[in-house]
Amino acid sequence: MVMLDGQQVAGVQSLSQLIEDVYRCNRYVRKLIVNGVERSVDDAVVLSLDETWVVELETCTLDELIEDTVASTAGMIPPLYQRLRAAVDAFRVGNIAEGCTRFAESVPSLQWNHAVLNQLAQLQPDGRSFVHEVSAEGERIVAELMEAWENEDYVTIADAIEYELLPWLAKWKAGVDLFQSQMKLEHMKDSFGGSRGLQ
Amino acid sequence: MDAVRLVLGKTGHWTVRVESEQHTRYLHSQHDPVREARRLVESWGECSGREVIIFGLGLGYHIKEFLNLNPYCERIDVLEPRRPLLDWARQVTPEIFNDSRIVFHCANRDGLLRWLHMRPEASIHVHPPTVESLPTSQLKSLLQEMLVLRSSEQRYRQQLADNLRENSRNIHCRHVLQGCQDQYAGTPGVLVAAGPSVVDAMGFVHTMCQTGGIVLSVSRVLTQLLNHGIRPFGCVLTESSDSALNHFKDIPRSTTVPTLYALPTASPLVLASYPGEVVYVFQKGHDDVERMAQTFGADLFLTGGSVSTLALDLLYYYGCDPIIFTGLDLAYIDGKSHADSREVRSGMASYMVESVSVTGGRIVSTVSWQSFRRWIEEYIRAHSDRTYVNVSAGTHIEGTKAMTYEEALNYCKANTITGHKFEPSRVQ
């Protein structure tokens, strides 16, 4: 059984086909649940659909998808900031093992932020937005960090985190907060009958 | 040979770049070396003695901060293995060269190592980037060990105090270890540690239990022993964090477990979860614990920073002879750190070092394992009235006789004190 935004859909041959149809209607997959388990789109498209399966697909507009992503980012940055701060504190006093652990814990969230920035940058191909600027700056800092990591140079790793990565994260968070407050304003306008103009 | 260069940092402060074939490292922050130095010196805590040693001069930023924060320190010996740094530091932080309390020593690594060995460890402070920038050497290993142990102490200090306060409500006279010295004099004692090779030692440990050996296992390996039908004499717990809950969570409810020998600073949650008797073992070197031990008339034990080292002191306390080490690998065996590790390591990390294995070859270990090895070797030297046998597969431990399981069993048979009655442990 396949449910699309709460409505049962008949005659679905494959999940990849269904997802293609969603994209063709200028909508995006917000959530995909297969037999009660949330799956990523990449995982799900290779599954061959069984008639006994229960597939629930929730879609959204691009605006809603961006809003969701930005909301997740807003929630993710503060703990990431704390972990990186703890890594710096440990490196500065010579607690290398602790610093490496805290830094390693931060890497998945950092990668996630970079992926989000890349995706957002692709939406505006002119390459001159705030997102492009933050994305390029982030890549430069990560390259510097990686070089220091290869050298096991914990002084430079701490420097790169403290004086570059943390201010960069603060800047990105400020952008995210601004975006969220603008969206809030747009929603308020909507509720009074105005129009939205995100794209 | 490493090259050292004086370079200007990103904000106009001087720093030093150390270039070796493998790495390029900096000795000071390129942004704010003064702030960096302050944080380091603050982490050392208040200077407790009148005389201190600081290893690593760098450009002197941290020495200057040390003087600011410890105006009453009477003498500071600064050790630096690289001569050019003395000249550069004289230019960057001239104040410290005008201070009569500071004595600078520049010597080769062996000279500095000898110098450090002669001084009490508590009075030595370390500039970590200098240590990290040194080529692999005995000096570097010693200083890295020092850093690892101090970091660990700092991190757990508060947790130990909280645990002690919580556990003190449950500690009674009948639950503390006292007056049992030499109770099992002449009986073989077996320390079962959690190294990867312990999986091959199950038959040996089983036999030792059955023949009345005093078998003490570390908490991490207890479930594994019970699953093999082996009930040791006791299990030892030192872990202050709740993560040790995992050590006991898979013990079937119907199983009779051995006595748990636990530090009063161990996790209260883990102690409450243990399905058997708990006996508190009071550690030396912790002021509040020592005071509490005095109240109860309890004996004091050396912990050595690891659960295995405490188990060793317990076996010695009970009078065991010989004392046999199993699973005390202190090294990676086939890429594994512990018998229950899922992760298999390949390659080296900065905290990894090579050491000599029981077979005389090279083996990959870590800085902290090597510090435990040194502690055990020191212990053996100071307690040389016993025989120490190592049937583990990893690092060679000076002062032990490396044996196979069979050789160890034969040794026990041949050297058992006549007339001592062994009561075989109940094996489930």
Residue to substitute from A140, A152, A162, A166, interface B, most B β-carbons within 10 A: A152
Tell if the CB–CB gap between B26 and A162 is shorter than 8 Å: no
What distance in Å separates the CA atoms of residue B276 and residue B287, rounded to the nearest whole number? Answer: 28
Per-residue model confidence as pLDDT tens digits over A171-193: 999 999 998 898 888 888 877 76
Chain A residues whose CB is inside 8 A of the B155 CB are 95, 98
Exposed e or buried b for every residue in B311-320, given b needs 16+ CB within 10 A? bbbbbbbbbb
Give the model's pLDDT for residue B422.
Answer: 42
Residue A15: exposure state from Cβ atoms within 10 A (0-12, 13-18, ≥19): buried
Query: Predicted confidence band at B428 (pLDDT cuts at 50, 70, 90)?
Result: very low
Q: Tell me, what's the pLDDT at A79? A: 94
> Is the CA virtual torsion B217, B218, B219, B221 positive or negative?
negative
Measured distance CA(A118)–CA(A104) in Å, rounded: 22
Q: Which of A49-63, B24-38, B281-295, B296-310 has the lowest mean pLDDT?
A: A49-63
Contact flag A156-B36 (C-beta cutoff 8 Å): no
Sheet of B189-192: strand order equals B278-280, B259-262, B234-237, B214-218, B189-192, B323-326, B388-390, B401-402
Nearest CA in chain A to B18: A153
- Residue in A closest to B45 by C-alpha: A93
Give residue ranges of A with CB < 8 Å to any B CB.
Answer: 89-90, 92-98, 100, 151-156, 158-159, 162-163
Predicted confidence (pLDDT) per residue in B368-424, tens digit: 787 788 889 988 988 999 999 999 999 999 999 999 999 999 999 887 654 344 443
Specify the 3-state DSSP secondary structure of A59. Answer: strand
**Is it the case that residue B345 has pLDDT exceeding 70?**
no
Token digits for B80?
């630096």
Per-range mean pLDDT, top range of B166-175, B226-235, B368-377: B226-235
Enumerate helices (H) and strands (E) in chain A, giving the number of each. 7, 5
Residue A176 burial (10 A CB sphere; 0-12, 13-18, 19+): buried
Tell me what pLDDT residue B233 has.
96
B146 or B204: whose pLDDT is higher? B204
Q: Do B31 and A152 touch (CB under 8 A)?
A: no
Q: Which chain B residue's Cα is nearest to A91? A: B128
- The residue ranking higher by pLDDT, B344 or B411, is B411
Distance from CA of B180 to the nearest CA of A (A): 39
Bridge-based pairing of strands B51-55 and B24-26 is unpaired
User: What pLDDT does A37 receive?
Assistant: 85
B4 in helix, strand or coil?
A: strand
Closest by alpha carbon to B365, among B402, B403, B330?
B330
Set of chain B residues whose Cβ sits within 8 Å of the Cβ of A93:
39-40, 43, 128, 151
Instruction: Specify the pLDDT at position B417.
Output: 53
Q: How far is CA B289 from CA A138, B122, B163, B264, in A?
A: 49, 20, 11, 7
Percent of chain B having pLDDT more than 70? 93
Is the pLDDT confidence value at B1 over 70? Answer: no
Instruction: At A105, list the tokens.
Output: 């814990």
Say what percent of chain B tops pLDDT 90.
Answer: 63
Q: Give the pLDDT of residue B122.
A: 66
Out of B253-262, B320-329, B335-344, B378-387, pick the least confident. B335-344
Whether chain A has a CB inside 8 Å of the CB on B128: the answer is yes
A119-147: pLDDT as tens digits: 888 877 777 788 899 999 999 999 999 99
pLDDT above 50 for B425? no
Q: Residue B6 burial (CB < 10 Å; 0-12/13-18/19+)? A: middle
pLDDT-based confidence at B346, cuts 50/70/90? low
Contact B88, B59 (CB under 8 A): yes
Indicate the pairing of strand B75-80 with strand B102-106: parallel
pLDDT for residue A82: 95
Decide if B25 and A151 are in contact by the 8 Å CB cutoff.
yes
C-alpha span between A110 and A107 (Å, rounded): 5
* CA–CA separation, B179 and B181 (whole Å): 6
pLDDT at B418: 41
Q: What is the pairing mode between strands B14-19 and B3-8?
A: antiparallel
- Phi, psi (degrees; rounded to nearest 5) at B256: -85, 125
Cβ contact B148–A151 (<8 Å):
no
| Cβ contacts of B147 on chain A, cutoff 8 Å | 94-96
* Strand bridging mode B24-26 / B323-326: unpaired
pLDDT of B426 reads 35
Residue B126 to residue A96, Cβ atoms within 8 A: no
DSSP E strands: which ranges in B193-330? 214-218, 234-237, 259-262, 278-280, 282-283, 300-301, 323-326
> Smallest Cα–Cα separation from B177: which of B296, B281, B301?
B281
More confident position, B1 or B153? B153
- In angstroms, the Cα distances linking A132 to A80, A140, A145, A172 are 21, 12, 20, 11
Those residues with Cβ within 8 angstroms of residue B288's Cβ, 6 or more apart along the chain or in another chain: B161, B164
Contact yes or no for A159 and B30 at CB 8 A: yes
Q: Which two tokens stand for residue B219?
A: 């908490």
Amino acid identity, residue A123? L
Could you give the angle at the alpha carbon of B165 between the alpha carbons of B159 and B171, nearest 5°? 125
Instruction: Say which range, A53-57, B113-117, B190-194, has the weakest mean pLDDT.
Output: B113-117
**Measured CA angle at B170 (ends B166, B173), to 5 deg:** 130
Interchain contact, A153 vs B26, CB within 8 Å: yes
Residue in the block written with tokens 């019970």:
B226
pLDDT tens-digit map of B48-101? 677 899 999 999 999 999 999 998 888 999 999 999 999 999 999 999 999 999
B350 touches chain A (CB under 8 A): yes
**Contacting residues for B101 by C-beta, under 8 A, at least 6 apart:** B67, B73, B74, B75, B76
Regarding beta strands B3-8 and A37-38, do their DSSP bridges make them parallel or antiparallel, or are they unpaired?
unpaired
CB contact (8 A) between residue A155 and residue B25: yes
**Residue pairs between chains A and B whose CB atoms are closer than 8 Å:** 70
Bridge partner residues of B353 (DSSP): B365
Take residue B238 and report the two structure tokens written for it.
Answer: 């030192």
CB contacts, 8 Å: A89 with chain B: 39
Span B128-145, pLDDT tens digits: 999 999 987 888 878 887
Please name the member of A94, A155, A158 whose beta carbon is closest to the beta carbon of B126: A94
User: Which residues of chain B neighbour A100 with C-beta distances below 8 Å?
Assistant: 349-350
Residue B20 with chain A: CB contacts under 8 Å: none
- Residues 89-118 of chain B with CB under 8 A from chain A are none
* CB-closest option in B25, B26, B31 to A163: B31
Residues B335/B374, Cβ–Cβ less than 8 Å: no
